[in-house]
Amino acid sequence: MTDDKSRIYPLDKIRNIGIIAHIDAGKTTTTERILFYTGRTYKIGDIDEGNTQMDWMEQERERGITIVSAATTTFWKGNRINIIDTPGHVDFTAEVERSLRVLDGGITVLDAEEGVQSQSETVWRQADKYRVPRICFVNKMDKLGADFLATVQSIENRLGANPAIMVLPIGAESSYKGNVDLLTRKVLIWGSDELGAKYDESDNIPEEMKAQVEEHRAKLIEKICETDDALLEKYLGGEEPSLEELKNALRAAVIAYKLVPIYAGTSLRNKGVQPLLDAVIDYLPSPKDLDHVVGHNPKTGSEETRKLVPEESLAGLAFKIQNDPHVGKLTYYRVYSGKIEAGTYIYNSVKDKRERVGRLLLMHANQREEIKEAYAGEIVAIVGLKETTTGDTLCDEAKPIVLEKISFPEPVISLAIEPKTKSDQEKLGYALKRLMEEDPTFTVKTNHETGQTIISGIGELQLEIMVDRMKREFNVLANVGAPQVAYKETVSQMAEGEGKYIRQSGGRGQYGHCFLRVEPKPRGEGNEFVDAIKGGAIPAEFVTAVEKGSKETLENGMLLGFPVVDVKVTCYDGSFHDVDSSEMAFKIAASMALQSASKRASMQLLEPIMKVEVTTPSEFMGDIIGDLSAKRAQIMGTEEKNRATIVNALVPLAELSGYATQLRSMSQGRASYYMEPSHYDVVPQNIVSAMLAKSTFTGRVE
């Protein structure tokens, strides 16, 4: 247990950073090296051996991929660095999204041979959305085909970034041995120490590189000076600014998203990581640089700001929920302002609830250290919160604030799941509830018609891992159906309908009567209910019942049983009976009115469209494009890269079942593909007709 004095670091000595990249670019390996060189671990973890610190889940070690973002704290040259290692796989995009929301800076890791890949673009856009300054690390310089300058070019072309080359690699592929630091003209060579903890520094730039070093150094200085008027004047006057001035100007430019410093190395061979750590300290922002955070007051709606200092009132964001077998539910919390103490109460301004902070933990992957209090700029885990979910703001009740929430993509694929035995039934409900708390892109619904439980997510791998976790962590055995595409329904034109429900039996009857209008809304805007009743034609409490009935009907679908989206429902007239009207009667009437309106509103089925990128040797390109076209794909274009062709296409998810196997057999196992959700689009009528013919859905509008 550290004493509290050593934990309170000045704000300008704190860095909250994340490591983001495409699958297999080397994020976790880079994090493991950082932990080793900063003295956090005594042994370098290796993914292939399954003994990494950050990938601590059994599933991560078996598959060699990162599934959950892991947080850790380490120290470098008198600074405290909080690191989050995020997954690269698109199925776990929620982990990246929520990590970026609370980070101050990022390291983007790129593969020196592959350059910028599709997932690199996705995480880059996510980081842009939350305005996260970043540094690029061109990893795998020892790999066959590694090309540093081509990778820098792809950063400029594909990411639209303005790269500032900070180092030039000495050699490449198997002859890569170190870098020349352009600002100081120092040569750093790794090799004398196998673990890379020590490196040799000298001024002996190889003869054949001298001209190149000077050329790139001049370009770098010019780029830095262009971001600062005072330096530019000095530079144009023929005077070179001092190293200190250049570093300060570069830091300001990085924080203002004007420049992205580029470093090179190979994490697996332990080369080039220390300069990257120095760059984190030199150029990425501390909470002090970001100054303040903006939110709004939940009661008045007015804008509120909080300075990122411990003296302010408390405000922070719960960005991740994790179920820990030893301590229960952990809530990861980024403290933006003020301080939080164990044993006190905290206010959840989104849920309008008070929560008790049981214990505070400083996390190191899945190991933990208990602390008494945490201050602005820290990332900690709280034990004991009951109501808080991902994206909630936790603050001081006397000065409430709601910070910007985290937005997550919608699920596009689902599975039916049922417990194997009666005793698994109860455990299944508990396990699903816990997993839903952890992953906001994982949703659970019960289909009342079939009694099945349907789980949905971003991709098959995510659902496969959820089922695996149920078995291992919660001991639930379940039967799982084949993956199903998460279709949606909508209307394409305005229509009106009447619903009248009258039942007369002995005693009190039932009477509900309403007129509804349905109309389409722009894609992605969600459903809306409008009360347009005039002169009390239906009393207010029954209008609420009409709204509930409409909502239930939209959720259960009217064409094939899929949720209806992007529809505006207006209740504009109706009648009631003093004695016989009830909530139930109006709910049924609303359902009847909606069904009647939908018959005339030209219902459409929407399907998820995936952005697919196939990398293949050129000789198979024709077959692959032909096959994609047969799958109703829209080919967006092709590009050549290192003897391979990349085909970009938009393809309906429904057509991609078993695509990995087909692609392997078409290309003798040499092509690979990557996909991520793009948008929803209308399903062609002939396919809808075929689905209607096969469907067993009984609530259909005929």
With pLDDT > 70 as the criterion, what percentage of the chain qualifies?
Answer: 87
- pLDDT of the residue at 54: 46
For residues 308 and 561, give the distance between their C-alpha atoms in angstroms, rounded to a whole number: 49
> Cα–Cα distances in Å, from 96 out to 17, 63, 70, 125, 366?
12, 19, 11, 11, 18
Beta bridge partners of 137: 109, 263
Among 93-107, 484-498, 595-609, 647-661, which stretch is predicted with the lowest mean pLDDT? 93-107
Return the percent helix, strand and coil in the chain, to nearest 5: 30, 35, 35
Residue with tokens 């929803």: 680
**Which residue ranges does the chain devote to CATH 2.40.30.10?**
292-403
User: Has residue 91 got a pLDDT over 60?
Assistant: no
DSSP 560: S
User: Has residue 86 got a pLDDT over 70?
Assistant: no
**Which residue ranges does the chain devote to CATH 3.30.70.240?**
606-688
For residues 615 and 638, give the distance between their C-alpha atoms in angstroms, rounded to a whole number: 10
- pLDDT of the residue at 542: 92
DSSP 208: G
- pLDDT of the residue at 3: 37
Three-state DSSP class for residue 156: helix
Can you identify the CATH homologous superfamily of domain 4-289?
Answer: P-loop containing nucleotide triphosphate hydrolases (3.40.50.300)
Phi, psi (deg, nearest 5) at residue 571:
-95, 110
For residues 540 and 543, give the distance between their C-alpha atoms in angstroms, rounded to a whole number: 5
- In residues, how long is the chain? 702
The average pLDDT across 24-52 equals: 63
User: Has residue 178 got a pLDDT over 60?
Assistant: yes
pLDDT in tens, 114-155: 888 776 777 888 788 778 899 999 988 888 888 889 899 988
**Which residue ranges does the chain devote to CATH 3.30.230.10?**
489-601
pLDDT in tens, 135-145: 999 988 888 88
CATH number of 292-403: 2.40.30.10
- pLDDT of the residue at 85: 64
Helices (H) and strands (E) in the chain, counts: 18, 38
- pLDDT of the residue at 566: 93
pLDDT in tens, 545-556: 999 999 999 988
Please report which helix (H) or strand (E) contains residue 631, including its range.
none
For residues 593 and 581, give the distance between their C-alpha atoms in angstroms, rounded to a whole number: 16
The average pLDDT across 2-16 equals: 65
**Distance of alpha carbon 161 from the chain centroid:** 21
**Distance of alpha carbon 98 from the chain centroid:** 6
For residues 681 and 651, give the distance between their C-alpha atoms in angstroms, rounded to a whole number: 11
Q: Selecting from 3.40.50.2000, 3.40.50.620, 3.30.230.10, 3.40.47.10, what CATH number does the domain 489-601 have? A: 3.30.230.10
For residue 510, give both structure tokens.
């039932």
- pLDDT of the residue at 593: 94
User: Has residue 248 got a pLDDT over 80?
Assistant: yes
Can you identify the CATH homologous superfamily of domain 418-481?
Answer: Elongation Factor G (Translational Gtpase), domain 3 (3.30.70.870)
User: Has residue 577 got a pLDDT over 80?
Assistant: yes
- pLDDT of the residue at 625: 92
Predicted TM-score (pTM) of the model is 0.69
Mean pLDDT, the chain, integer: 82
pLDDT in tens, 384-401: 888 888 888 899 888 889
In what order do the strands lie in the sheet containing 200-202?
A: 167-170, 178-181, 186-189, 200-202
The average pLDDT across 664-688 equals: 85
Asked whether the beta carbons of 466 and 454 are under 8 A apart, the reply is no
pLDDT in tens, 302-335: 888 888 888 888 898 888 887 777 777 888 888 8
Among 200-209, 290-299, 451-460, which stretch is predicted with the lowest mean pLDDT? 451-460
Residue with tokens 């689905």: 691
- pLDDT of the residue at 455: 87
pLDDT in tens, 403-418: 887 777 778 788 888 8
CATH number of 606-688: 3.30.70.240
With pLDDT > 90 as the criterion, what percentage of the chain qualifies?
Answer: 21
DSSP 323: E
Q: How confident is the model at residue 4 (pLDDT cuts 50, 70, 90)?
A: very low
Of 591, 568, 570, give the one whose Cα is nearest residue 512: 591
- pLDDT of the residue at 615: 84
Residue with tokens 């990590």: 99
- pLDDT of the residue at 46: 54
How does strand 373-375 pair with strand 339-341?
antiparallel
pLDDT in tens, 472-531: 878 888 888 877 888 999 999 999 999 999 987 766 788 999 999 999 999 888 899 999
> Cα–Cα distances in Å, from 409 out to 92, 459, 488, 654?
11, 11, 15, 18
Q: How confident is the model at residue 94 (pLDDT cuts 50, 70, 90)?
A: low
